[in-house]
Amino acid sequence: MSAAAADDDKQREEKGLDRLRRKPDLSPIPASDLDQHVQLTPWEVLHSLGRAITLARRGAGRGLAEHWASLKYNQALTGDSKSFMALSTEGKETADYYKAIQSGELGTGFALALATRLLSRRYPNRLISITPADTALRAGWALNSRDSGPKSGYRYRPQFFAEVWRPGEASRVFPIACKGNHSGLSASHAQLSSASAHVEAVHIGAWDETPCLVFSTELPLDGPLTVHTLCSDREGGWLDAPTRVLDHALEDENVYPGIQPPAQGDKRAEPEPGFHVSPDLFGWFQHALARTAAAGLAAFAGDAKATAQYLTKRQGQRRFAGITHAATDSVQDARHRLFGIDFVGTDHVFRLNRERVEAFSGVAEDLFHLLEEGRVEQYRREIYARRSSWPHTTWAPRWNGPVSIHTDGSVLAMRPLRE
């Protein structure tokens, strides 16, 4: 990766561009934290991807159904418990036309599934919540010209935050940058180098002490899928014990952009481009992360009203409170019982090689009612108490299809549609 970074620095210098700050001291994940070979199912990856993009502000979709886009990769992967996962024939054909989109989105799914697995092993008595960084940051900073407030003018930032938390205690936040490619190791090295600049754009607390995770997923047209992972094990990233009531609405802040380096002697250093969550913002940032995560979960279940209550104006509250296009809307009106647990959410019917397939995304019914009523504090206490009780089985016989359940109470299930 260092060679790729040096090459990029040289090119930027030749073009007269500023030198990028990159996260220092990135190193491979220790084997004790994550095995070299990790077992994942395709629907676990699609679940992670779907949850990640429920609040995405991209494409023509303005409804709640953006997470269904993950289902287009149903037949892109192949493999079983006795072999490595790889691109299927259909995945290879898709890569011929949509390389960047497919590798990027599948890279996100694999990265977040592995990040959750890794951090859960490191912090067995805590829960991991993944939130889209742009949505969380937008509550405090103006990220582009459409946002009100002082403009950051900096396009480098992580794609996600992982909050490691336990009710009533200080939590820890890991910026995550993830990329994917259909090329090979040299492309992954370049992507890891680029990702190191994205995670460096957010500092939480002291200068240069924020931990992070960076991923590059290699999906070659021939050979097994490989996820390259690096981490920074700095000691920071900790937020104070909660000082705000998470049930209360979050308001947009106008934080002046820039990261403040330590003073050089008696002289105050000039701020570096980026986003600095200083200690006086810890309570607000923790509040923003919790409510953004709740919004994503409500959107995954297809409830516009429940989603809108958790977002600020700048985060896109109006997108979920207004009228949506019929083709992109999603309605919370489906209910299924899986492994003895009642789930409510939304469903979608699509075709796989002429066969009609039903997909259901939702949340455990009692937990969804808490989110619907704005009771984030109680919801987080409940999922923490149940963190070890969710079923790990990936096939539901009565449902007749694969199922993925996360510790946040969300579910993604698919099956052939009965005639």
Would you put residue 159 in left (φ > 0), alpha (ψ -120 to 50) or beta? alpha
Structure-block tokens of residue 251: 């308001």
- What is the amino acid identity at position 115? A
Structure-block tokens of residue 84: 């490595």
The pLDDT assigned to 35 comes to: 79
CA distances from 7 to 3, 10, 186 (A): 6, 5, 12
Q: How far is CA 126 from the centre of its chain?
A: 18
Residue 407 near residue 415 (C-beta atoms within 8 A): no
CA distances from 133 to 63, 178, 201 (A): 20, 12, 11
Question: How far is 293 from 129, CA to CA, in rounded Å?
Answer: 7
The pLDDT assigned to 355 comes to: 87
Residue 270 pairs with which residues in a beta bridge? none
The pLDDT assigned to 327 comes to: 42
Asked, for residue 30, whether it belongs to a domain, the answer is no
Whole-angstrom distance between the N-terminal and C-terminal Cα of the chain?
Answer: 53
Question: How far is 325 from 310, CA to CA, in rounded Å?
Answer: 22
Asked, for residue 23, whether it belongs to a domain, the answer is no
The pLDDT assigned to 59 comes to: 44
Question: How far is 146 from 138, CA to CA, in rounded Å?
Answer: 11
The pLDDT assigned to 390 comes to: 97
Strands (E), 353-407: 355-364, 395-396, 401-405
Question: How far is 205 from 211, CA to CA, in rounded Å?
Answer: 11
Asked, for residue 25, whether it belongs to a domain, the answer is no
The total of other beta-carbon atoms located within 10 Å of residue 59's CB is 10
Asked, for residue 27, whether it belongs to a domain, the answer is no
* Strand 226-232, strand 27-28: pairing: antiparallel
Q: Write down the number of H helices and E strands in the chain.
A: 11, 16
Query: Cα torsion for 270, 272, 275, 279, to the nearest 10°?
Result: -40
> Which residues neighbour 362 within 8 Å (Cβ) at sequence distance 6 or greater?
300, 301, 302, 332, 334, 336, 343, 344, 345, 346, 368, 410, 411
Using one digit for the tens of pLDDT, what is the confidence trace for 44-98?
999 999 999 998 765 444 455 678 888 888 888 888 777 788 888 888 877 666 7
User: Which residue in this structure is represented by tokens 């980026």?
Assistant: 274
Question: How far is 143 from 193, CA to CA, in rounded Å?
Answer: 23
Using one digit for the tens of pLDDT, what is the confidence trace for 340-373?
999 999 999 988 878 899 999 999 999 999 999 9
Closest to 160 measured CA to CA, from 235, 214, 216, 227:
214
Q: SS3 sequence, 116-171?
A: HHHHHHHCCCCEEEEEEHHHHHHCCCECCCCCCCCECCCCCCCCEEEEEECCCCCC
Asked, for residue 29, whether it belongs to a domain, the answer is no
Question: How far is 44 from 67, CA to CA, in rounded Å?
Answer: 14
The pLDDT assigned to 213 comes to: 98
In b/e form, how buried is each residue of 217-231, taking b as 16+ CB within 10 angstroms?
bbbbeeeebbbbbbb
C-alpha torsion sign, points 10, 11, 12, 15? positive
The pLDDT assigned to 329 comes to: 52
The pLDDT assigned to 61 comes to: 42
Q: SS3 sequence, 61-99?
A: CCCCHHHHHHHHHCCCEECCCCCCCEECHHHHHHHCCCH
CA distances from 115 to 130, 153, 382 (A): 9, 29, 23
Number of domains present in the structure of the chain: 1
C-alpha torsion sign, points 372, 375, 378, 383? positive
Give the residues of the chain that fall short of pLDDT 70: 1, 8-9, 12-14, 57-65, 95-97, 322-332, 419
What is the value of pTM for the model shown?
A: 0.92
Give residue 175's domain range: 2-18+35-416
Asked, for residue 28, whether it belongs to a domain, the answer is no
CB-neighbour burial class of residue 135 (10 A; exposed 0-12, middle 13-18, buried 19+): buried
